[in-house]
Structures are given as structure tokens and as C-alpha cells.
Structure 1
Amino acid sequence: MLEALHPRKCSLDELTWFDYLVVHTSDMEGPESLHPDFEASVGEMLVRRRLVEQSIALLRKLHLVVADYHDGLNYLPGDEAPAIIDLLTSPYNQNLKARADWVSKTFRNFNHAEVEEIFADRIGRWTAEFRTNEHATSASL
């Protein structure tokens, strides 16, 4: 998603939303979804957020993702990310790239607040739910 959205920077929240959307594109009247729909989107978002955090940490170690601290913590693709992405040629990866391009074209010009509102309106209020749960978890640490 970062490569498709480049040069737009993404927060962890946005990456989590886009990570969900790239495989559930039909939720926003986009191309056919790569993954089947099911009722537990809030639970899926909680799991996805942790996976996205872990993925970012790994990709930063490999210099495929770069952190930008200019306006809060945001992420960009590293210089070598395009070359690695070009190596992913399976049919599933090609479909994933096409959907990432669709997500990029759809959301590239929206700011964080606009993206959050669109997701809340179109997919449901799970964004607020997973954020509330996240803050409760952070407070208990």
C-alpha cells in the first residue's frame, strides 16, 4: 500500500484501514474483494492492527519502510521497496497490486480525518471501537 500511495505518507491507523480495504475492496464499491466478507470486522481490525505494527517493524529493519516524524509518525516506502514489489508475480500478488492501485487512486488526495470519516461512514464505526480498545490496552500497560 505504501508504494501504491507514494508520495503520500500514512499513519499506522491509515495503514490498518488500507490493509483491510486492499482485500475487501467491494466494501467501498471497488473491484471484487480478494477475501470473503464476514461479520467480525471489528475483530479483524484489532488483529490487523497488530499485524500491521509487526510488519512495519520488520520492513523497517529491512529498509523497505521508512518512518517520517515531520507531522507525527507516518510511513513511506523505502528506496528498495519498488524492486521487491516487482518480484511478487503470482496471480494473487498481481490482484493485490491492482487493488492497491485502486485504493491509492481512491484515497490519495484525502487527509487523515477525511479517510477516517469515509471508513466510519462506509464500513462502520469499527474505527472508533478499535481505537477505544487500543487506548484501553495502552493504559493498562
Structure 2
Amino acid sequence: MSNSYVFNSPLEAGVRTVCFLDSYFPRSMDFDGLMKVDFIIVHSGDFGGPDSLHPNTPNRNGEYYSRREKVRTGLDLMKKFGLIEVEYTKNGIAYKASENASPYLELMRSNYSLSLRRISNWLTEEINKTGFEELNITLVDKVF
């Protein structure tokens, strides 16, 4: 029997993506943007937001790169569950929440889930207020 862990798994990354895209609805975002969003959501305290979703760890710069496959696999998983839709735009492939995302997220009541929703709403408000570019500049300072 193998042990399955949700923490830092593709499933967790997929749920984070669905949660953000639901708060960002009806807009969509490309994969590179979702990679950045995932990092910001996990470390929101570093970006002037609510307390971070995960505990701070030293040397987390490399974490951004190591999560790429988890985010990609989580995104594919959420598409299979019907929670994310793919859009083909003039700029390439983008992803947005499906109509099933909100009802799914309403069922989630754990402290983690409620924090995730709060952080996703904060991030969407920040993007609406200052644009993604400002957060991206801070991300570059912290990661690259």
C-alpha cells in the first residue's frame, strides 16, 4: 500500500488554480501566469497579502521552478474533473474556471480552503487594482 499526500501535490496545485480562476472569472490566464499566481498564493505574505498559505521556508527561490510539473499536472487534473476550461486565444492557450468551479469550491470548508479562497480573492483584487505587472516585478525580485 502506498501513501498518498495532498500537501504540495498536483491535486493541491490544481485546487489552488481552480480557486484563483474562479475568483478571476470570467477572465482567463495562460500557464506562465498561473505558475506565478500559484507561487504568489502560497507565499502571499511575501507580497503584502494575507498570511501565507504555507509556512515560510528558507531558500524558497528554487521552489518556483520545482513546482512547474505539479502545476501542469494539477491543471490537467482539474480539466478532467470539468472545473477548468481551455481557451484558444490569439496569444495562445489560456485557462478559465468552468461553471462547475464555484459549486465545487462552496463545498470546501476547511481552514486551508477558506484561507485559499481569501488569498485568491485578495490576489484578484490586487491584479484588478495595480495590474499583474506590479506583482510580477515583486515576484522577479523574490525569485529570480
Same fold (TM over 0.5): yes
Contact persistence 2:30–2:93 (CA under 8 A): yes
| Alignment correspondent of 2:137 | 117
Percent of pairs with identical residues = 28
Cα deviation 1:2-31 (Å, max 9, x = unaligned): 111112211111111111111211111111
| Alignment correspondent of 1:53 | 72
| Alignment correspondent of 1:104 | 124
* Partners of 2:114 and 2:70 in 1: CA distance: 22
AA in 2 matched with 1:15: L
| Alignment correspondent of 1:28 | 47
* Partners of 1:55 and 1:69 in 2: CA distance: 19
Cα deviation 1:49-73 (Å, max 9, x = unaligned): 1111001111111211111111211
Contact persistence 2:86–2:94 (CA under 8 A): yes
Contact persistence 1:5–1:108 (CA under 8 A): no
Cα RMSD after superposing both structures: 1.8
Please state how far the C-alpha of 1:115 moved relative to its aligned partner.
4.8
Secondary structure of 1:33's aligned partner: coil
* Partners of 1:84 and 1:29 in 2: CA distance: 28
Please state how far the C-alpha of 1:114 moved relative to its aligned partner.
5.5
| Alignment correspondent of 2:87 | 68
AA in 1 matched with 2:23: A
| Alignment correspondent of 1:94 | 114
- TM-score normalised according to structure 1 size: 0.78
Unaligned runs of 5+ in 1: 126-141
- TM-score normalised according to structure 2 size: 0.76
Secondary structure of 1:2's aligned partner: helix
| Alignment correspondent of 2:10 | none
